[in-house]
Amino acid sequence: MSFVTHLECSYTGEQYEANRPHNLSKAGKPLLVRYNLDAVKSALTKEKLATRTEGFWRYRELLPVTQAGNRVSLGEVVTPLVLLPRSAETLGFSGEIIVKDEGRLPTGSFKARGLCLAVSMAKEFGLSHLAMPTNGNAGAALAAYARAAGMRATVFCPDDTPRVNIEEIALQGGETYLVNGLITDCGKIVGEGKEAVGWFDVSTLKEPYRIEGKKTMGLELAEQMSWELPDAIFYPTGGGTGLIGMWKAFDELEAMGWIGPKRPKMIAVQASGCAPIVKAWEAGEEHAPLWENAWTAAAGIRVPAAVGDFLIIRAVRQSDGFAIAVDEDDIFDARAEVAKSEGLLLCPEGAATYAAFKAALADGRIAQTDRVVLYNCATGLKYPMTAESKTIDRHQPIDYAQFN
C-alpha cells in the first residue's frame, strides 16, 4: 500500500500524477513526492515503528513503493550515531559532537539510500536500463542495486574519479565509462542519450525518488534522538539531495505531530575549490551559477552546479543555518585528527564537516553548548591514506626500549 497522493514541482507547485516515471518538471525543476500524512498518522504509530527492524524500510508508509515485492534490498541498516568526546574535550566544547556514520550502509555510502529507492521505483515502473553521472559512490550504489533488481546500469565518471569507485562500479555490473571532464559533463551525456539509447536518467534530483531515500536520514535521526532534533546539522553538500530530503522529512514529521516546530540549523559544507552554494548564499541569491574549474579531492562535493540549488539555499535560510567552505588542507587535517583521537575513519567529505564545525565554533556561529550532528557520508576505507608505519627487521636484535 502507498500513501502517495501526487508529485509536485518544487518551484511552481504544479502537480503531476505519481503512477508513472518522471524526470524534472515542465519548469526544469525537481519533483517532490507528496503523501496523505493524516492517513500515514492513522496507520503508523511511534510504538509500532519501534518494533520494526528492517533498516530504513521501517519507514515504508513514508516511502513511495507500492508493492513489497518491488523493494530492492542489500541489507540496509540504521546507521549509528557516534560521539566524539575526545574531540569535544580538545576543543573545549561542552556540547555534543555526534557523527551519523553512513559508511555502514551497503556499498559503503549514503548513496545507497537514494539509489535503493530510485531502483525500487524503477522496478515498480517496469524500467530496465538506468543511467547516471557520478563522482564515484552514487555510481557504485546504482550498479549494485540495479544488479540486485536485474536491471542494466550505465555509469559515466570523470576520468579522475577515485580508482576504487571505478573498479567497484564495474565489478558490480555497471557499464562504466570515463569522461575527460567534470560530473556536469557526464550529466550532459546522460541527458543527451535518453532519446537515442532509451535509458532512464537517475541523476541527482532529476527523478523524484532519490530524495525519498535520502529523506530516511532525517527520519532515522529524529527517531534515534527520541524525536528531539539537534541544534545543528553539518552536511557535505554537492548535489544536496540529503539536505533537501532531511528538510522534507522534518516537515512531514511535524505534520504528523511526531516532532514540534524546532529545526536544526542546516549547514551546507563545501570545499573552497568548489563552493557554488556558499557563493550564492553569501550573495543573498537563490540560484548558484556554475563554478568554473571546480576541484577538490573530496570528490563527492565536487559538483559545480546543482539542479536543486534553490532548495538547498531555502532550507539553509529557513533554518537560520549557513553555507561554509573549508580549505583542502583543513579537510585532511580534520580526517587525521578524528582518526587519531577517536578511532573513527571519516571519508574526506565527512572530514569536511568536522573542519567546518571547528571553524563555526571558533567564529561563534555554533554555541559552546550545542548538540551538533556531522554526516560522514561514506566509509573512509574507500579513500587513499598516508602510510605512517615503521619497520622491524626480525633478523636483527630488537631494541625494545623504543616501545616504551
pTM to 2 decimal places: 0.95
Contact 246, 232 (CB under 8 A): no
234 CB-side CA count, 13 A: 30
CA angle, residues 99, 260, 281, in degrees to nearest 5: 60
Report domain extents, the chain: 81-108+209-382
Give the residue carrying C-alpha cell 556499498. Answer: 107
- Three-state SS at 245: helix
Q: How far apart are CA 110 and CA 271, in angstroms?
A: 19
Q: How far apart are CA 47 and CA 51, in angstroms?
A: 7
Spatial CA neighbour of 298 closest among 344, 355, 213: 355
Cite the beta strand spans of 159-307 per DSSP E: 175-179, 200-201, 232-236, 265-271
Biggest CA-to-CA distance, the chain = 78
Does the domain formed by 81-108+209-382 have CATH 3.40.50.1100?
yes
Q: What is the Cα 13 distance to its own chain's centre?
A: 25
Provide the grid cell at 368. Answer: 559552546
Q: How far apart are CA 186 and CA 206, in angstroms?
A: 14
Could you write out the three-class secondary structure of 361-381?
A: HHCCCCCCCCEEEEEECEEHH
- Per-residue tens of pLDDT for the chain, all 404 residues: 789 999 999 999 999 999 999 999 999 999 999 999 999 999 999 999 999 999 999 999 999 999 999 999 999 999 999 999 999 999 999 999 999 999 999 999 999 999 999 999 999 999 999 999 999 999 999 999 999 999 999 999 999 998 999 999 999 999 999 999 999 999 999 999 999 999 999 999 999 999 999 999 999 999 999 999 999 999 999 999 999 999 999 999 999 999 999 999 999 999 999 999 999 999 999 999 999 999 999 999 999 999 999 999 999 999 999 999 999 999 999 999 999 999 999 999 999 999 999 999 999 999 999 999 999 999 999 998 887 788 999 999 999 999 99
Tell me the β-bridge partners of 100. 81, 375
Q: What is the Cα 124 distance to its own chain's centre?
A: 23
Secondary structure letter of residue 274 according to DSSP: B
Q: How far apart are CA 225 and CA 251, in angstroms?
A: 16
Secondary structure element (H or E) that encloses residue 210, with its range: helix 209-224
Contact 253, 37 (CB under 8 A): no
Q: How far apart are CA 389 and CA 374, in angstroms?
A: 29
